[in-house]
């Protein structure tokens, strides 16, 4: 049974970033370090962990992009655990947190391969696709959060 928590200890942060690297960077041959960006210090970090084994199953982070606009970023679910609702759990958790923080809009720089996923969660394309790290194209998607 997955539970959502924020990494706190050094070991938890190591496991959190390791999953991000494994799913979002390693398959494209990007070097270690590219899994982090300038927004790490101002982000809230969340991970879905197996309650029994403490295995990290999925990760996501949230930061304020501009006043009132939240940014979901680095959403990734371990390959062996995809299609089990973990991504949906993480997106729902971040949306609740964004609402609590008073954000009016929540968005993500979605990979073009994941736009249908975000559309399923109510997001629409609100930008122009652009290359990211030289290998994948990303596009800004967003949705308004209810009051």
Ligand X SMILES: CC(C)(COP(=O)(O)OP(=O)(O)OC[C@H]1O[C@@H](n2cnc3c(N)ncnc32)[C@H](O)[C@@H]1OP(=O)(O)O)[C@@H](O)C(=O)NCCC(=O)NCCS
Site residues (vs ligand X, CB under 6 A): 23-24, 75-77, 82-88, 108, 110-111, 113-114, 116-117
Could you tell me the smallest distance in angstroms from the CB atom of residue 96 to ligand X? Answer: 16
Instruction: Pick the closer one to ligand X by CB: 7 or 87.
Output: 87
Could you tell me the smallest distance in angstroms from the CB atom of residue 18 to ligand X? Answer: 14
Helix (H) / strand (E) element for 86: namely helix 86-100
Query: Who contacts 123 (Cβ-Cβ below 8 Å, separation ≥6)?
Result: 107, 108, 110, 141, 142, 143
Instruction: Pick the closer one to ligand X by CB: 34 or 88.
Output: 88
Q: How far apart are CA 6 and CA 75, in angstroms?
A: 14
Could you tell me the smallest distance in angstroms from the CB atom of residue 147 to ligand X? Answer: 26
Could you tell me the smallest distance in angstroms from the CB atom of residue 130 to ligand X? Answer: 13
Instruction: Pick the closer one to ligand X by CB: 13 or 78.
Output: 78
Instruction: Pick the closer one to ligand X by CB: 79 or 102.
Output: 79
Which residue's Cβ has the minimum distance to ligand X? Answer: 87
| Helices and strands (DSSP H and E) totals, the chain | 3, 8
Q: Is the separation of the CB atoms in 130 and 138 below 8 Å?
A: yes
Query: Who contacts 106 (Cβ-Cβ below 8 Å, separation ≥6)?
Result: 69, 70, 71, 72, 94, 95, 98, 142, 143, 145
Could you tell me the smallest distance in angstroms from the CB atom of residue 101 to ligand X? Answer: 21
Instruction: Pick the closer one to ligand X by CB: 6 or 79.
Output: 79
């Amino acid at each position: 049974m997955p539970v959502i928590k924020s990494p706190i200890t050094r070991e938890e942060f190591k496991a959190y970033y390791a999953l991000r690297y494994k799913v979002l960077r390693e398959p494209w041959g990007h070097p270690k370090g590219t899994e982090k960006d300038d927004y790490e210090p101002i982000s809230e970090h969340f991970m879905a962990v197996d309650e029994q084994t403490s295995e990290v199953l999925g990760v996501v982070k949230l930061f304020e992009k501009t006043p009132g606009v939240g940014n979901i970023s680095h959403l990734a679910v371990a390959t062996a655990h995809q299609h089990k609702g973990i991504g949906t759990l993480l997106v729902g958790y971040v949306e609740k947190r964004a609402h609590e923080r008073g954000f009016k809009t929540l968005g993500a720089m979605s990979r073009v391969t994941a736009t249908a996923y975000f559309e399923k969660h109510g997001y629409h394309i609100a930008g122009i696709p652009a290359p990211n790290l030289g290998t994948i194209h990303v596009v800004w998607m967003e949705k308004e959060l209810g009051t």
